[in-house]
Structure 1
Amino acid sequence: MSLTANDRAIAGFTMTGHALVHWFETSIPIFLVVWLAEFDVAVGLFGVIVALGYAPFGLGALPGGVLADRYGTKRLIVLCLAGMSVAFLLLSLANSIYAIGGGLVLWGVAASVYHPAGLSLISTGVSDRGTVFAYHGIAGNIGIALGPFVAATLLIFYDWELVATGLAVPGLLAAAYGLSADFDPVAAADELDEETEETPSSLTDILANSRALFASAFAVVFLIVSFEGLFYRGMLTYLPEILQDLPALVNFDPGPGLEGIEPGDYIYVGLLVVGMGGQYVGGKATDRVSPERGIVGIFGVLAALALLFVPVSELGLGPLVVLCCILGFFLFAIQPFYQEAVAVYTPPEGRGLSYGYTYLGEFGFGSASIAVGGFLLGSFELAVFFTALSAFALVGAGLGAFLWVRYQGTPSE
C-alpha cells in the first residue's frame, strides 16, 4: 500500500517531532560533562537534579495522552516542540545548578506529551499505519544519534551556552512548520475497530482498566520495562562522563588541530548508531523468538557487559570501543521484545493505556537510576556503579523468566 498525501504529511510531521524529542534527550548527557566542571558540584547532587528533569518525561505520558484526546494531537505536538526549545534557551541562560534543574524540568514536562500524542496521531490519521510507525521509529533513532554528535562537535568550537541555543533552533523551526502543516488527524478514524473506539475517556474508566491491567500478566511486563529503564537511563546518562575519565582515553592524542575533540563523546555516539542496528535486528527477531525468551537472553547479555565494562576498559582503547558497540547493540535490541510483550499480554481495548504505562515505567521510574548512579559514582569505585546496573539487568532477566514460566501461552483476553 502506497502512502496517501495525508499519510505523508502526518509521517513528516511526526518523524520530525520524534527525532527532535530524542535529539534533545540524548544531548543532555553531553552537557552533563560540561556542567559538572562548570558548576563544581558533587556528582550525587547533580544526579538528583538531572533525575528530576528526566522524570517528567515518563511521568507525563499518561496525562499527555488525556490532553491529546481533549485538545488535539497536532496542537499538543506543536506545544511540545516549542516547549522543549524554550527549555534549552533557558538552559543557555542558566548560571547555577538550580537554574539547570529548572530548565531540565521544563524540558521533561514538554517532552512527555510527545509519545502519546504522536502515536495517537498516527493511529487515527494514517491509513498505512505499519509503514509510518516504522518510519517514525527510524526517525527517533536518527535523533538519538544526531543529538549527542552535534552537541559534542559544536562544544569543540563554542561555549556550552551558545551550543544549547543552537540546539533549540531546529525545534523552533519544527514548531513553526507544525503550525502550517496541513493534514487530517482523524482521516483513518472510520477504519478503527469497535474496540479502539471504546478507548476509556473518563477517570473512572481509566482507573477500572488500570486495575484490570495490573491484575494480569501486564504487571510483570511493567516491572520488566521499569528495570530496563533503570539500566538504560543510568547507562546512557553517565557514560559520556565515565568515558572521559578512563585511562584509555585520558592520554589519547587526536592529532594536530584536533586538540578539542573528546573521543569519549564520539564513542558514545557510535554506541547509539550501532543501537539503531540492534533495534532493527531485535524487531525482526520478534517474529521468530518469543518476547519472554528474548527478554531473558538480552538482559543476561546486558548484565554480563556491565560487569565486564571496567576490566575491559583497562585493556585499552580497541577493546573498549568493541565493548561499547556490543553494549549499544543489545541496549536497543531489547526494546522491540518488551514492546511485543505489551501487545501479547494486554487486551486490545487496553492497548493505549498499557503503552502509556510502558513509557511511565521506561522513562519515569527508570530515571531513578540517575539519582542512584550519581550517588554511587560520587561515593564508590566505578565498578560499584556497573555492578548496580548489572543487578538491574539480572532482576529484569528474572522477571522475564517468571513471565515465561507462569504466563507463556496465556495472554490476557
Structure 2
Amino acid sequence: MTLSQNDRSIAGFTMTGHALVHWFETSIPIFLVVWLAELEVSVALLGIVVALGYAPFGIGALPGGILADRYGPKRLVLVCLVGMSLSFLVLAVAIVLDPATRIYAIAAGLILWGVAASVYHPAGLALISTGVEDRGTVFAWHGIAGNVGIALGPFVAATLLIFLEWPVVAALLAIPGLLAAAYGLRARFDSTAAVDDDVDVGPEAASLSDLVSSSRALFASAFALVFVIVTFEGLYYRGMLTYLPEILHGTPAIGDIEVFPALEAYDIDPGFYVYVGLLVVGMAGQYAGGKLTNRISPARGLTVLFGVFALLALAFVPVVNMGIGPIVLLCGVFGFFLFAIQPFYQEAVAVYTPPDGRGLSYGYTYLGEFGLGSASIAIGGFALGASVSSFFYLVAGFALAGALLSVGLLVGVDRLGLTMGGPAGANSDD
C-alpha cells in the first residue's frame, strides 16, 4: 500500500519530532560525564538535577495529552520542538555564569527540556492515529525515527565534545530542533483524515468535569487493560535498557576486550557498541512490528511478543557467561523484538479508544510507559545488587505478567466484544 500525500506529510512531521525528542534525551548522559568532571558538585546532587529533568518527561505525558486534545496535536509538537531547543540554549548560557552557580542553569535547562519533551508522544501519536490512513506503516517509520535519534544523540554529542566545550555543543545540538520547528510551521496536512466525517476530533476546551468523565469512560473500557499492559511493557523496557549496559560491561567476554589505543583516552567501553548495535537493530523491529499490525490484532501480537520477552530475559542468564558471539547474537535478537512491540501497543490505543480522546489516551499510555515503568529502575537496582540472574528473573516476571494480561485482552475482544473507539475485531487476523 502506497502512502497518500497526507500520510507522508504527517509521517515526515512526526518522524522528525520523534527523532529529536530522543536526540536530546540520550545526549544528556554524555553531558553528565563532563559535568561531573568540571563542576564542583557531588554525584548525588548532579543525579538529583538530572532526575528533575527526566521526571517530567514521563509525568507530563498526561497533561500533554490533555493539551493535545484541547489545542491540537500539531501545535503541541511545535511547542515541544521549540521548547527542547530553548532548553539546550539555556544549558549553553551557563558558560557566562560563575562556576559555582552553573548548576542552577543546568537544572533549569533540564527541567525545561523534560516539560517540553513530555508533550511529544501523546501529541505525535494522536496526530498519527487520527490523520493517517495506513497507521501501521507510519507507526513503524515513526518508531524507526525514534531509534535513529536514540543512536545519534550520544554519538554526536560525544564526538563534538572531543573538540568543543560543552556549552558550545549544547548550542549546536539545539539547531536541528529549531530547523525542525521551522519545517513544521510550513507543513500542511489534514490531522483528521483517518476518522469519519461525523466524528468531532477538533481542538476543544474541555472542563475539569469533562476530563473526569472522559477518564472514567476510558478506564471503564478495554483501555484500562491496555494501560496496565503498557505499564508492564514499560517496566520491562526501562529495566532492561537501563541496566543492560552495566551488565554487559561486567561480563568477561566484553570487559576484557581491548579498545583501540586512540580511544582509550575517552574511556570507550566496548559494551557501549553492543548496546548501540541493539538499538540500531531495533529499527528493523519497529518496521516489522508496524507492518504486522496491519495483519495481526494488537492483542494477539502483544501476547506473542511478551512471551518472547520472557524467553529472552531468561536466555540472558546463561548467555552473559558465554563468549562474545552468543552475547552479540542475543542482544541483536533482543533489540529486534524489544522495539517490535511498540507499534502494537500504539495500535491498541488507537483501536480501543474514541478518536476525540486520543490525546488523553496516549497521555495515560505514556504515563504508564515512561512514568510508572521507570519504577523498574529502582526495583531492578535492588535485584541486580543481589545477582545478575535475579535481575533477569525479575524482568522475565514483568514480561509474563504482560503476556497474561494480553491474553485477557485477546479473550475479552474476540469472545466478549470488549472494545471502545472501534468495532470489535478491528484490525483482526481475518
Shorter-chain TM-score bucket reads 0.7 to 0.9
Give the superposition deviation at 1:412. Answer: 1.8
Task: Please state whether the residue corresponding to 2:418 is helix, strand or coil.
Answer: coil
Deviation digits for residues 324-355 of structure 1 (CA, Å, limit 9, x no counterpart)? 11111111111122223323433455444323
Deviation, structure 1 residue 278: 1.0
Give the AA of the match of 2:301. Answer: G
Q: Does 1:294 align with 2:269?
A: no
Contact persistence 1:30–1:240 (CA under 8 A) = no
Corresponding residue of 1:106: 112
- Establish whether residue 168 from structure 1 lines up as the match of residue 174 from structure 2: yes
Displacement after TM superposition at 1:111 (Å): 0.3
User: Bigger shift: 164-173 or 125-134?
Assistant: 125-134
What corresponds to 1:150 in structure 2? Answer: 156
Deviation at 1:216, TM superposition (A): 2.0
Structure 1 residues 29 and 401, CA gap change in structure 2 (3 angstroms): farther
Indicate the residue corresponding to 2:79 in structure 1: 79
Q: Could you tell me the TM-score, scaled by structure 1's length? A: 0.81
Corresponding residue for residue 16 of structure 1: 16
Amino acid at match of 2:198: E
Contact 1:344 / 1:411 at 8 angstroms: preserved in 2?
no
Aligned to 1:25: 25
- In structure 2, how many angstroms separate the alpha carbons of the residues matched to 1:98 and 1:311? 45
1:388 is aligned with what amino acid? L
Query: Which of these residues, 383, 387, 401, is aligned with residue 381 of structure 1?
Result: 387
Question: Corresponding residue for 2:397?
Answer: 391
Measure, in 2, the Cα distance between the counterparts of 1:36 and 1:397: 41
**Structure 2 Cα separation of the partners of residues 313 and 401 of structure 1:** 31
User: Closer, same or farther in 2 for the Cα pair 1:322/1:114, shift >3 Å?
Assistant: same
Which whole-Å CA distance do the structure 1 matches of 2:159 and 2:30 have between them?
Answer: 10
Distance, in Å, in 1 between the alignment partners of 2:210 and 2:241 is 36
Q: Secondary structure at the match of 2:303?
A: helix
| Structure 1 position 343 matched with structure 2 position 354 | no
* Contact 1:78–1:175, Cα closer than 8 Å, also in 2: yes
Decide whether aligned partners of structure 1 residues 336 and 13 sit closer, same or farther in structure 2, where only a CA change above 3 A counts. Answer: closer
Alignment of 1:37-186 (within 5 A): 41=43, 52-71=52-71, 73-90=73-90, 93=94, 103-120=109-126, 135-154=141-160, 163-178=169-184, 181-184=185-188
Compare 124-133 and 270-279 and name the one that shifted more: 124-133
CA distance in 2, matches of 1:100, 1:384: 36
Identity %: 67
CA distance in 2 between partners of 1:48 and 1:395 (Å): 31
Determine the C-alpha separation between the residues in 2 that align with 1:387 and 1:199: 45
- Contact kept? 2:195, 2:355, Cα under 8 Å: no
In structure 1, what is the equivalent of residue 282 of structure 2?
275
Residue 247 of structure 1 pairs with residue 252 of structure 2: yes
Aligned residue for 2:199, secondary structure, equals helix
Q: Which moved more, 1:241-250 or 1:7-16?
A: 7-16
CA contact (8 A) 2:133 2:193 kept: no
Q: Whole-Å Cα distance in 1 between the matches of residues 240 and 48 of structure 2?
A: 15
Matched with 1:333 is 340
Does residue 223 of structure 1 match 2:228?
yes
Deviations 1:84-143 (A, max 9, x none): 234345556598988766544332211011233334556677788777665544433322
Tell me the equivalent position of 1:232.
Answer: 237
Aligned counterpart, 1:257: 262
- 2 CA distance for matches of 1:288 and 1:128? 12
CA distance in 1, matches of 2:313, 2:226: 22
Structure 1 residues 133 and 282: CA distance shift in structure 2, 3 A: closer
Give unpaired runs (5+ residues) of structure 1: none
Which residue of structure 1 lines up, in the alignment, with residue 324 of structure 2?
317
Report the secondary structure of 1:298's partner residue: helix
Q: How much does 1:75 deviate? A: 4.5
Normalising by structure 2, we get a TM-score of: 0.78
Please report how far the alpha carbon of residue 239 of structure 1 lies from its aligned counterpart in structure 2 after TM superposition.
Answer: 2.9
Q: Residue 383 of structure 1 aligns to which amino acid in structure 2?
A: S
Letter in 2 for 1:321: V
CA RMSD of aligned residues (A): 3.7
Give yes or no for contact 2:69–2:359 (8 Å, CA) kept in 1.
Answer: no
1:325 to 1:125, Cα distance in 2 relative to 1, 3 A: closer
Which SS does the other structure have where 2:296 is aligned? coil
**Does the CA-based 8 Å contact 1:55-1:108 persist in structure 2?**
yes
| Equivalent residue, structure 1, for 2:424 | none
Q: Secondary structure at the match of 2:291?
A: helix
- Aligned-pair distance for 1:244? 3.1
Report if aligned partners of 2:57, 2:118 keep a CA contact under 8 Å in 1: yes
1:360 to 367, 384, 392: 367
Letter of the 1:226 counterpart: T
Distance (Å, rounded) in 2 between the aligned partners of 1:37 and 1:166: 21
